Structure 1
């Protein structure tokens, strides 16, 4: 698989969500560490578990470093910034990663709790799908907790197929041909 970075230039865009709030969606930057830590602290324990599939009280430094420095060849990450609040703050993010030489990428989406249900996850995942498609990936997949009905419903709305995870009854695998 050949990646074509010149074809995938990401242009930040503004989104007005269903409740009228506005976010700026842009590529993650090296200096987003503080913003990511602040966003992580706003996630409920349930939201953290749904995203990381582990109980986490804080974001480990290594994970934070990796999040803000995606590998250009096989990863891409977006953040959504609330622009109308006091200062801009990260309220959501989406990313994909792929094994080297693979044309399948795995996605993840996280939205701060008080921004759920207004279309932010849908906009982030839709943008990520478009970027992965333009970068030459043929398939996007995600591992979703069986209990995470909101994410499973979103994946179905965006065209993902869903099957039980063969290795773990608590997970579902959602897959989209790009």
Structure 2
């Protein structure tokens, strides 16, 4: 993580986040932009809605593997459902016109096998190419290891070049999805 600096706060004893040290981190991206990274909280629901609404059509298709016009209440319920162990999400927040705006999110959910988790990362279109995806995924990988997962994987569209590059950079292996040749599976042994 060559140009990404990170600081650790003093851990908060009452943090409900299990194996997570501290409650938030201020990170500096490759271009010098500061972001606040922390676990997703219930009060982030509106930010999550606005984040999805701002994504380009291509970014939505890559993230949700299909066309998404808006985030339904059921989808938001699913995205907000984190327990900080089997279902985890980190958000990156940045100041935008005096408000904290969600600019990136990484998440995993335990799959049927309790030693594996499926992951996803999404970065706002105007925040790409700054190292934010790498930063969010490294946090996610770290907590997945601490929570006892042995393998992390993502299912992505074959034409999702940004995910191909990110996954390759982080050491994920890539193979065609045996059930759907339009998708690939990126996997990382933890």
Q: TM-score, normalised by structure 2?
A: 0.86
Query: 1:69: how far off?
Result: 2.5
Partner of 1:120: 132
* Deviations 1:22-55, CA, capped at 9 Å, x for gaps: 1100010101111111111110000000000110
Asked if residue 90 in structure 1 is aligned to residue 102 in structure 2, the reply is yes
Q: Is the 8 A contact 2:28 2:34 kept in 1?
A: yes
Contact 1:10–1:27 (8 Å) recurs in 2: no
Partner residue in 1 for 2:35 = 23
Compute the RMSD of aligned alpha carbons.
1.5
After TM superposition, give the deviation of residue 83 of structure 1 in Å.
Answer: 3.1
Q: Which has the higher contact order (CA 8 A, sep 6+)?
A: 1
Unaligned runs of 5+ in 1: none
Q: Which of 165, 168, 183 lines up with 1:171 in the alignment?
A: 183
- Give the Cα separation in 2 of the matches to 1:61 and 1:109: 20
Question: Is contact 2:85-2:147 (8 Å) kept?
Answer: no
Is the CA contact 1:76–1:96 (under 8 Å) kept in the aligned structure 2?
yes
Shift of 1:66: 2.1
On the 8 A contact 1:22/1:84 being kept in 2, the answer is: no
User: What is residue 3 of structure 2 aligned with on the other side?
Assistant: none
Q: After TM superposition, where is structure 1 displaced by more than 4 Å over at least 4 residues in a row? A: none
